[in-house]
Structure 1
Amino acid sequence: MAEIINLRAARKAKARGEKEETAKDNRILFGRPKKARTLAEAKKAIEVSRHEGHKLVGRDDEG
């Protein structure tokens, strides 16, 4: 005898598998977690502010 299969459950399982494949591809493409992105942005902001703080402003540059 053949095994009885619930077609609705089989479709849902197939859809879950496809979503997981898409998610796997997206993790590879967009890879960095939010914590790493915000840390990098904060470091960049500190670096820019330090760089701007070292600029020399002379009499001719003030306007």
Structure 2
Amino acid sequence: MTAEIINLNRFRKEKVRQEKAATAEENRVRFGRNRAERALDRIAAEKARRHLDDHQRDDGKDPTVA
């Protein structure tokens, strides 16, 4: 009746790898966005910027001079 001999360093390193993989998976779920979502956000930001620029008053006066 002999016990299986295990390398404690290998066991410890494998445990750390598994913990990092679990953390990475959680971060992918929490923060991950695909290319289409990023493109939609970029397009929406550009549209908002254009909308704001189009509605800016242009009465010929310099707003920095009082």
Please report the TM-score for the alignment, with normalisation by the length of structure 2.
0.62
Deviation of 1:19 after TM superposition, in Å, equals 0.6
Task: Give the letter aligned to residue 18 of structure 1.
Answer: E
Q: CA shift at 1:41, angstroms?
A: 4.1
Identity of aligned residues (%): 40
Could you tell me which runs of 5 or more consecutive residues in structure 1 were left unpaired when the two chains were aligned. none
Over 3 Å counting, the alpha-carbon distance change for 1:55 and 1:12 in structure 2 is same
For 2:56 and 2:45, the matched residues in 1 are separated by 20
Distance 1:56 1:19 in 2: 50
1:40 aligns with 2:47: no
Q: Deviations over 1:4-56 (max 9, x none)?
A: 101100000000000111111111110214x442x23431243132x346548
Q: Does 1:8 align with 2:9?
A: yes
Tell me the number of residue pairs that the alignment of Structure 1 and Structure 2 aligns: 57
**Whole-angstrom distance in 2 between the partners of 1:56 and 1:20:** 49
- Against the structure 1 CA distance between its residues 28 and 56, is the aligned structure 2 distance closer, same or farther, given a 3 Å change threshold? closer
